[in-house]
Amino acid sequence: MDKLLDGYRRFRATAWPERKALFEQLAAIGQRPKTLVIACSDSRVDPSMIFDAGPGELFVVRNVANLVPPYSTPDHAHHGTSAAIEFAVRVLEVSEIVVLGHALCGGAGALIDGAPEQAQDFLSDWIRIARPARDIALNLSDDPGEQRRIVEYQCVKLSLRNLETFPWVRERIEDGRLSLQGAYFAVATGVLERLRPDGTFSPA
């Protein structure tokens, strides 16, 4: 905590004076982001840093392996990612959703190798969402490194497909109010790739 407080003090001394007016405006009028980013919880992959976005520009949802579960009938279970998507789409009325995958993803690795023994309570069930991505990777390659990269790409595509199972997402796509985008960040090189209409990823 001491390190975090040191960072906060630097923020108050340097960034806060420069952005005080912006935060006051955001407090007064509320947030109006145009983009929802669904990214991995990995500490190396910060959407605001990657896209050089300031406060109020991005509505960000982060979870293991940037996964979107398929739409399910509302019940009394806990649907954190789905709830955040609903808020962004139906309340904030974002105009685009970006699913941001990345290299060296631990969730993708767990799909190939299995979840770590000390993370069996929730992680195994969560990454099971992406079993189709794992199956594609195992069918396409015998090389573990290549399998993992394929899974990372496929997790982006799977989440985009699952987004379209939400009726109010699909409705907005069909009438032109919402677009879906896929992207992939290489941690070691800083290169951002975009998912193209032909299903391939290439540098942005």
pLDDT in tens, 135-191: 999 999 999 899 999 999 999 999 999 999 999 999 999 999 999 999 999 999 999
Starting from the edge strand earliest in sequence, which strands make up the sheet with 201-203, in order? 58-63, 35-40, 96-102, 179-185, 192-195, 201-203
Distances (CA, A) of 127 to 85, 109, 120: 18, 10, 11
Same domain for 44 and 71?
yes
Same domain for 54 and 149?
yes
The DSSP string of 127-169 is: HGGGHHHHHHHHHH-S-HHHHHHHHHHHHHHHHHHHHTTSHHH
Task: Give the model's confidence band at 95: pLDDT under 50 very low, under 70 low, under 90 confident, else very high.
Answer: very high
**Cα(31)–Cα(126) distance, integer angstroms:** 30
Q: What is the pLDDT of residues 143-159, one digit of tens each?
A: 989 999 999 999 999 99
Same domain for 25 and 112?
no
Q: How many helices (H) and strands (E) does the chain have?
A: 9, 6
Same domain for 7 and 57?
no
Same domain for 12 and 49?
no
Q: How many domains does the chain have?
A: 2
- What pLDDT is attached to residue 204? 94
Same domain for 69 and 16?
no
Structure tokens at 186: 């290489």
Whole-structure pTM value = 0.95
Same domain for 111 and 188?
yes
What's the whole-number average pLDDT of the chain?
Answer: 96
**Cα(155)–Cα(149) distance, integer angstroms:** 10
What CATH number corresponds to the domain at position 127? 3.40.1050.10
- What pLDDT is attached to residue 179? 98
Same domain for 15 and 105?
no
Q: Is the pLDDT of residue 77 over 90?
A: no
Same domain for 187 and 116?
yes
Q: What is the pLDDT of residues 8-38, one digit of tens each?
A: 999 999 999 999 999 999 999 999 999 999 9
Q: Percent of the chain having pLDDT more than 70?
A: 100
Distances (CA, A) of 52 to 49, 55, 59, 141, 181: 5, 10, 14, 35, 18
**Cα(51)–Cα(53) distance, integer angstroms:** 5
- What pLDDT is attached to residue 36? 98
Q: Is the pLDDT of residue 74 over 90?
A: no
Q: Is the pLDDT of residue 118 over 90?
A: yes
- What pLDDT is attached to residue 54? 94
Length of the chain: 204
Same domain for 107 and 143?
yes
Residue 3 domain boundaries: 1-29
Same domain for 14 and 98?
no
Name which residue leads in pLDDT, 78 or 41: 41
Same domain for 88 and 186?
yes
Contact predicate 45/70, CB 8 Å? no
